[in-house]
Every structure is written in structure tokens, then in C-alpha cells.
A and B are shown apart, each in its own frame.
Chain A
Amino acid sequence: MGLIQKIVTWARIKSPWVIHFNTGACNACDIEVIDALTPRYDLERFGVQLKGSPRHADVMVVSGPVTRQSRDRLKRIYDQLAEPKFVVAVGTCACSGGVFQGCYNVEGGIDQAIPVHAYIPGCAARPEAIIDGVVKLLSSLDPKPVAAPPAEPVEKEAASA
């Protein structure tokens, strides 16, 4: 890998701009995505910015199962993203269709319509899970082996009444 390619990969990892698209979710995952972008979690530390235009974005964060109504729109938005582009499916519905699986109007998970790079399950997926998923997706761009996560801290939580 040449020096320029290394620099470009570094820049790509350090500056993921996201666009958020709801294909028919119940809004819970959307609230969690918005939550992850608020000052409390401060995703700008990692260079994450929410962009309005699909032309500007690198990562497409999709929530909800693909309905027949939204499939064409989803594909169009995906085609409007500039290469290299990544898709993150947030929530159980986006991963597999969830509880809506088999509905007359639901196609299934996001991967029924467009290629997906990262699945983040959860109903709704927690902001920490979303951040973790995006970080794992980005670190997979780097050919270096990913450092093993630190061992689980042993917490003694007092049972709250």
C-alpha cells in the first residue's frame, strides 16, 4: 500500500459523514440515531457529521424494514451517494425485518434492497451500539488487525429497589 493510499485511508477513517434515512421504522431507532449525534455523545470527536445531502455523505445510516413503498427511494438515495460509500443497518428491523417480517408490505431487511456493510441489532439499538458499529466498520477499512477490546470490567451493581 502506497503512502498516498495510506493517507487517504487515514482521512476516510477520521472523517465519516453520515446521512440518516428512515425506510419505515417505528421512530425508536431514529431517536437513538439522533441521540448519538447530540452533544452528550459528541460524535464530532471522531469527525462524524450529519449531512443533509447524500452527495456529501460517506456512511448511510438506515433504520427500519424495507417496505414496498420505500424500496425505490432507498435505492435512489443509495445511488446518489458518491463512492466509496457504506451502509449501516440500525436496529433489528433494518437487519432482518424484525417483527414486521412476513407482512404483506414488507420486503425484509435493508440487505434485500442494497448491500449492507454493518448490522447493528437492537430494539431500539442503543447509541453506544451505533457508535461501536460505526467504529468497527471504519476500522475494518484499515488493513491492520484491530486491537482486541479491553476485558469486561467487573462491576458490582447494587440491586436497586
Chain B
Amino acid sequence: MAIFNILVFPGILFLVAAGLWFEFVDRRMYARMQNRQGPPWFQPLADFIKLLAKETIIPEDANPRLFAAMPVLALTATICAFFYIPLWNTTALFSFQGDAIVVMYLLTIPTMTFFLAGWYSTSLYSTLGAVRSLTQLFAYEIPLFMAVLAPAMLANDWSLAGITKFYAAHPLLALLNLPAFCVAMVTLLGKLEKVPFDIPEAETEIVAGAFTEYAGRHLALFRLAIDIEVIVAGSLVAAIFLPFGLTLPWWLGIIIYLLKITLVVALIAIMRTIMARLRIEQMVNFCWKFLAPAALAQLMINLVVKGFLQP
């Protein structure tokens, strides 16, 4: 049963299918908001198969083993993070005290692989993209950690399953985390490298950022990892900030879970439509001037409320 859970549902196969599907949803919403038709539903799948079947090029100056290992590492880390997140009920596939922090670190690994992939490609554009993605990491990582861990502090539990259990029992307290939800959504745009924070892969400035030298199979795995990262990040936000409908029957729960992911993807698509790309120093300024204080304020609120709640 555990093998089935890991490989098929809600494991790797489900994640791949959901990742490709929600990439389509994102691109379709983007297209409709631009008043055009957009791609057909199989488009991400066709892109993926085509890239798998293309020639794989490794630059002469690159370290071939690291170059080939980075996409696999990114994919593995995102899939691992998924197993600790409760989806449509209050239990995760695996759970222990402190897995909220482990999931956050597992979600940092893809960014590190983007950096290493760009750095070891040794091309100018790749190096620029790599450095940018690391600079961006320093800006969004701390507000994101504070925003995700403030609800954990209020719940007095450091496992994601425990946090969702607490908020499912006290739905009104979940509303208290609204500022942290906003901070988390904005910083997730940075983590997923979506507009307006797609500075590391700015195609009009530095070709394709860290992925410039990647072709064929490696690029396909990187794209899949990014698609799956969207699902994992959406599930994390849904589990922590939207703990509603978790006690319903499983089929209703799954529908509500998919609706929550759709909400997160829709927010990302709307942001992509209405915003332009920021410069890197604007992004860093914004994160440290506004997001970090907002996350700190959330921490203060949760501390005060926790003091009142405890007898």
C-alpha cells in the first residue's frame, strides 16, 4: 500500500499528471486573459515528450556529471517534499515533529540546483541567471519561512499534519493568518520564479537564465520539476492557510483540494498577466522593506494570541 501511495496516488504519477495539467491551466488562463484561445490541454505533455526525444547537449566546459545530476536532484527534492504535506485530510503520507521545516528546506533545494546548474554550465548568461536566482533567494527566503512558521507557532506543532489538524479544529484562528497568507503568496512567486519575480530567467535580458545551456532530456526534467514545484507549493499553502473541508468524505475532500490548487494557480496566472518584471534590486528592496516586516507583524500577532489562548 505504501509503494502504491508513493508511486501512483498521491505520489509520483499523480504529481506528474497534476503538474502537467496545472501548467496547462496556468497557460490557458493567461491566454484567455489576453483575449486569445491558448494551447490545447495536451500541450505540456507534448512539450515534455518532445524534449525527452531531443538530442541532449552538454557544453564542453561544463562538468558533465553535475550538469546531468542537477535536474534529477531538483525533481527528487520537490517530490520528496510532497510526501509530508497533508492534502485532503489532516494526515500526511509521512509525518514527524519538525517536518514543516524539512519541507521548507526541501523546497529550497531546487533553487540551489538552478544555481549550480547555471554555474556549472559556464556560459555567461547561465552564470548571470544563477547569481540572480541566488540573490533572489536571499530576499524571499526569510519572509517565506516566517510566514509559514508563524501559523505553526500558533498551532504549537511543528508537523504539517499537526498544523492542519489544529486549524481544522479552530477554523476561525486560520483567518488570523491572512497577512501571512498574502506574504507567502508573494514570496512563492519569487520561489517559483514567476512574474513579477522571474528575474533569474528573464528571457528578454539573459536568454533563459540558468537553463540557457540545457537541452533535451535535462531541460524536460527541469521543466517537470518546476511544474511539480507549483503543485507542492500550492499544496503547502492550501494545507497551512486554507484548512477548510478537511473533515469531509475523501472524494469531496479531493475535489476541494484540487479547487484550492486551482485558486493558487489562478492567482499566479493573474499576477503573470497584470505585472511586468521587476529589477533585481527593486525585488530585494520590496522583500526586505515590506514583506519581512509584514511577516514579523504576523509573528507578533500570533505570539499575543497564543498568550491569550493558553490558560
Contact = CB atoms under 8 A, between A and B. Distances in A.
A2 B169 CA distance: 55
A8 B53 contact: yes
Interface stretch (B176-184, B207-215, B257-265): B207-215
Given A44-B27, A44-B31, A45-B39, A55 B46 contact: no
17 contacts: A8-B49, A10-B46, A11-B50, A14-B46, A15-B46, A15-B47, A15-B50, A44-B39, A45-B38, A45-B39, A51-B208, A52-B208, A53-B213, A55-B219, A58-B50, A82-B216, A84-B55
B251 interface: no
Interface string B97-138: 000000000000000000000000000010000000000000
B289 interface: no
A39 B49 contact: no
Contact of A11 (B37, B49, B208, B211): B49
Interface in A5-21: 7-8, 10-12, 14-15
Contacts of B38: 42, 44-45
A113 to B, nearest CB: 21
Q: Which applies to chain B's interface (DSSP): helix, strand, loop or mixed?
A: loop
**Interface size range on A against B:** 20 to 34
A40 B36 CA distance: 7
A47 interface: yes
A14 B27 CA distance: 16
A82 to B, nearest CB: 4
A42 B36 CA distance: 6
Interface in A26-51: 39-40, 42, 44-45, 47, 51
A15 B208 contact: no
Nearest to B202: A52
A12 B215 CA distance: 15
A51 B223 CA distance: 14
Contact of A8 (B42, B50, B219): B50
Contacts of A56: 208, 211, 214-215, 219
B311 interface: no
